[in-house]
Amino acid sequence: MAVHHLPWAVNGGRPTEIAARITCATNATPKVKLSHFKKWVSEVGSKSLKLALSSSLAIALSYNGVEYAEAKTGVNKPELLPKEYTTVIDVAGFLSSGQEKRLAEEVADLEKDTGFKLRILAQNYPDTPGLAIKDYWQVDDRTIVFVADPTFGNILNFNVGDQVDLDIPRSFWSRLAGKYGNIFYWKEKGEDASIEAAVNAISYCLREPVGPSNCSEVM
């Protein structure tokens, strides 16, 4: 779903503690200490990514614009799913009914035109249907599950099917998250604005002819 962040909230520290560790690591004896610091950052980043993925959705392989990682077993609350089938689920209250309707219409048009299935879940972990949406949406290799969750800072999280990954360059998802998912963007414009901007960018990308330059820009 989002780009790597140093996870003080996940790992129990405070921002000041992380800053202190960084200062100590960079000012210490050259190569040995610095290598230890790099290893620590790598391990922390990996834990943050896996936790973010498991909180968004635990489906086979997940992608958040940074790398593939096996998703851990996540929350499974089918009772949070709407009784009437919909391609847009908002359990966080980020979207108005009008916005949900417009997004659902865009999703339907996109699937009709391209064959790709975009599904949208707005949540605040742990209040999420989690694993239950896999069966609810019949997620397959042509499905993009877009999870809008601000829990880990960047609100844009993506789980993409194998076929989607073949047609869409990996860099697209990280650039999309960087442009519309960063905390400054959604704090200023609102979670709904981030969601709508991301859907528009995905729709534009998927409609482009597949080639070396497709999805090279985030619209």
pLDDT tens profile 167-211: 999 899 999 999 999 999 999 999 999 999 999 999 999 999 888
Neighbours of 69 (CB within 10 A): 16
- Round the CA-based radius of gyration of the chain to a whole number and report it: 18
Q: In terms of pTM, does the model score above 0.75?
A: no
CATH topology of domain 1-219: Diaminopimelate Epimerase; Chain A, domain 1 (3.10.310)
Residue-wise pLDDT for 100-133, tens only, equals 999 999 999 999 999 999 999 999 998 999 999 9
C-beta contacts of 135-139 below 8 A and 24+ residues apart: 136/78, 136/81, 136/85, 137/87, 139/59
Q: Rounded to an integer, what distance in angstroms lies between the CA atom of residue 185 and that of residue 48? A: 21
Answer yes or no: is pLDDT of 75 > 90: no
Residue 152, pLDDT score:
85
Residues belonging to the chain: 219
Beta strand pairing call for 68-70 and 156-160? unpaired
Residue 77, pLDDT score:
92
Compute the average pLDDT of residues 25-36. 43
